[in-house]
């Protein structure tokens, strides 16, 4: 397997396909790099180098007890970029992964970044705070953590319905549902729970203020997990010149339900 070891001794798995301008993908919760296989294959077949990693605690990466916070996630990305010697890389983040690529820019700037793509992302802020009362209430996230600790397998299985919108007339295969559960159960329980705290309680507004590269925001208007009106819509407004694409009727998991459309939109953005 392709891995590298971070400064704190965590082993991070990554896949690296194709040749050309680099595109680095950061996955959502509670998935891993495999969620990007369609996008990676599509772009690598069209002249791009595509890289995706398993976040610490997930997939084939090691499972430390600590480090499940966005400053650490951003440093992991920084060290991966340095390890691979990447320049002019386009960063693509889905859901919680949109947070760590934004925090990377907040901490390290855009000297090595050609573009930013936020897909159903938790930016600029996800959870409700005093300064962001329209966010998702804390009780929702407390319920998620309680469900994970009680019966993670069943919670993730049930979570797939709103994630993919199968409770709202979307259709995905039994294979996708099986793969989603299998991927989620590879992860550290500690990491899975701690990441809920991270993505619900981190404010990325200062990070987005530092974005000065071409930016694409894509969000489904039927997202039941990360509401478009308080995330994607505001993220696009926060980055000057950002392009916003709203997928009509799309759920959170539109990388699967709107796979072809997403692949084509990513290629068009990269080809600009």
Helix (H, G, I), strand (E, B) or coil at 209: coil
Which spans in the chain are helix H? Answer: 37-44, 70-84, 96-108, 138-164, 174-186, 189-201, 205-208, 232-238, 254-257, 259-270
In this structure, what token pair is assigned to residue 213?
């590269």
Alpha-carbon distance of 223 to 253, in angstroms, equals: 8
Phi-psi region of 241 (alpha: psi -120 to 50; beta: other; left: phi over 0): left
Range of the domain at 27: 3-270
pLDDT digits (tens, 9 = 90+) for 53-81: 999 999 999 999 999 999 999 999 999 99
* Residues 86 and 112: beta-carbon distance below 8 Å: yes
* 89-94 and 11-17 beta bridge pairing: unpaired
- Residues marked active site are found at 95, 223, 252
In this structure, what token pair is assigned to residue 104?
């990377």
* pLDDT of the residue at 66: 96
Q: What is the CATH number of the domain that holds 18?
A: 3.40.50.1820
* pLDDT of the residue at 44: 98
pLDDT digits (tens, 9 = 90+) for 113-150: 999 999 999 999 999 999 999 999 999 999 999 999 99
* Residue numbers in the chain where pLDDT is lower than 70: none
Query: What pTM was estimated for this model as a whole?
Result: 0.98
* Residues 117 and 269: beta-carbon distance below 8 Å: yes
* pLDDT of the residue at 39: 98
* pLDDT of the residue at 35: 98
* pLDDT of the residue at 141: 98
CB neighbours (10 Å) of residue 120?
28
* pLDDT of the residue at 1: 73
* Residues 34 and 61: beta-carbon distance below 8 Å: no
* pLDDT of the residue at 238: 97
* 11-17 and 48-53 beta bridge pairing: antiparallel
Domain count, the chain: 1
């Amino acid at each position: 397997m392709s891995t590298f070891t971070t400064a704190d001794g965590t082993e991070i798995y990554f896949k690296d396909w194709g040749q050309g301008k680099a595109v680095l993908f950061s996955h959502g919760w509670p998935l891993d790099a495999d969620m990007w296989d369609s996008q990676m294959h599509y772009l690598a077949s069209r002249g791009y180098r595509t890289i995706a990693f398993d976040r610490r605690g997930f997939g084939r990466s090691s499972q430390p007890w600590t480090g499940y916070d966005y400053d650490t996630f951003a440093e992991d990305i920084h060290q991966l970029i340095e390890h691979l010697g990447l320049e002019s890389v386009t960063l693509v983040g889905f859901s919680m992964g949109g947070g760590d690529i934004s925090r990377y820019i907040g901490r390290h700037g855009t000297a090595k970044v050609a573009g930013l793509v936020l897909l159903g992302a938790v930016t600029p802020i996800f959870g409700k705070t005093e300064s962001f009362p329209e966010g998702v209430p804390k009780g929702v996230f407390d319920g998620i953590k309680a469900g994970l600790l009680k019966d993670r397998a069943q919670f993730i299985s049930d979570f797939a319905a709103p994630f993919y919108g199968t409770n709202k007339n979307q259709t995905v295969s039994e294979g996708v549902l099986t793969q989603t559960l299998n991927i989620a159960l590879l992860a550290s329980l500690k990491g899975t729970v701690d990441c809920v705290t991270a993505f619900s309680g981190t404010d990325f507004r200062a990070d987005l203020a530092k974005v000065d590269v071409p930016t694409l925001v894509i969000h489904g208007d039927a997202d039941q997990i990360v509401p478009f009106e308080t995330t994607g819509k505001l993220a696009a407004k926060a980055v000057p010149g950002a392009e916003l694409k709203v997928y009509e009727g799309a759920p959170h998991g539109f990388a699967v339900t709107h796979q072809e459309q997403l692949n084509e939109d990513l290629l068009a953005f990269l080809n600009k």
